[in-house]
């Protein structure tokens, strides 16, 4: 009996478990796995059984990228149809996994507002010292990259924590989130970066300098810059905005 015949007579706990095991198995025959995904998506109306089963497919990737994407898209469709019922399981998955790209896509599809998505992403960030856990460090970095798409009052205060992270990528991602917030809120966190002489933060400093130039943001305390120089040809102008001066005698 093939897996399609096995599923024909409707759902039962044993069939749901068999389908779940097949979905989890990266080495299963592809047609069997596709059939299991379709069965769970179409026949199982209990979110507590269907959503975790479908979420398990995001824990691995296939070498064949097109097939991998198709299976994951099918799982996403099966999850999203549960709407709010699916949300607790998606959040649990985000907290427990390091493979967050697809669960975040699902979260965005389920979220009824940007504020809700931001709240969920913040709840998944790990604010503890994870410097000896590369997987958790990578996860924080990925979440911060997603948060850079959003602007919300109070977000800068929370994200500023990661400017002191031991990982440069995490610090960089945090600075990008902060640069996307209202400058009135984020300047107290990012302006000190303009005077940071640590070579480990040079990429972060260059990014913040570009943002100040691009948005014409004013510096709150120009006295902290020796000769009003920020970096290279970039200076604090008379109006306390950053300017690029090619001929320093003209500044």
Which pLDDT value is given to residue 10?
62
Neighbours of 109 (CB within 10 A): 15
Which pLDDT value is given to residue 11?
76
| Distance between CA atoms of residues 8 and 3, nearest Å | 9
Which pLDDT value is given to residue 250?
45
Find where tokens 């014409």 sit. Answer: 216
Which pLDDT value is given to residue 249?
54
Which pLDDT value is given to residue 248?
57
Which pLDDT value is given to residue 1?
46
Which DSSP string corresponds to 146-212?
Answer: HHTT---TTHHHHHGGGGG-SSHHHHHHHHHHHHTS-HHHHHHHHGGGGG---GGGHHHHHHHHHHH
pTM: 0.88
Which pLDDT value is given to residue 180?
97
User: Which residues does the chain have with pLDDT short of 70?
Assistant: 1-10, 247-251
Contact yes or no for 96/115 (Cβ under 8 A): no
Sheet strand arrangement including 234-236: 229-231, 234-236, 242-244
| Distance between CA atoms of residues 229 and 35, nearest Å | 64
Cβ-in-10-Å burial (0-12, 13-18, 19+) of 76 comes to buried
């Amino acid at each position: 009996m093939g897996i399609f015949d096995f599923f024909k007579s409707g759902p039962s706990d044993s069939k749901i478990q068999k389908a779940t095991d097949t979905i989890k198995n990266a080495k299963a025959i592809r047609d069997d796995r596709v059939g299991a995904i379709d069965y769970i998506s179409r026949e199982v109306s209990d979110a507590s059984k269907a959503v975790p089963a479908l979420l398990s497919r995001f824990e691995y990737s296939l070498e064949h990228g097109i097939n991998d994407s198709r299976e994951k898209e099918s799982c996403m469709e099966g999850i999203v149809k549960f709407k709010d019922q699916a949300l607790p399981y998606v959040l649990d998955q985000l907290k427990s996994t390091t493979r967050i790209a697809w669960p975040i896509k699902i979260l965005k599809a389920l979220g009824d507002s940007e504020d809700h998505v931001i709240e969920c992403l913040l709840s998944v960030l790990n604010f503890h010292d994870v410097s000896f856990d590369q997987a958790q460090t990578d996860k924080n970095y990925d979440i911060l990259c997603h948060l850079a798409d959003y602007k919300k009052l109070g977000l800068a205060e929370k994200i500023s924590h990661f400017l002191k992270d031991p990982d440069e990528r995490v610090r960089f991602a945090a600075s990008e989130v902060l640069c996307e917030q209202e400058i009135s809120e984020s300047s107290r966190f990012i302006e000190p970066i303009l005077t940071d002489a640590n070579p480990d933060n040079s990429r972060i400093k260059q990014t913040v300098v570009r943002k100040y130039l691009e948005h014409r943001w004013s510096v709150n305390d120009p006295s902290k810059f020796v000769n009003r120089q920020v970096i290279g040809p970039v200076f604090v102008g008379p109006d306390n905005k950053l300017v690029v001066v090619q001929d320093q005698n003209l500044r």
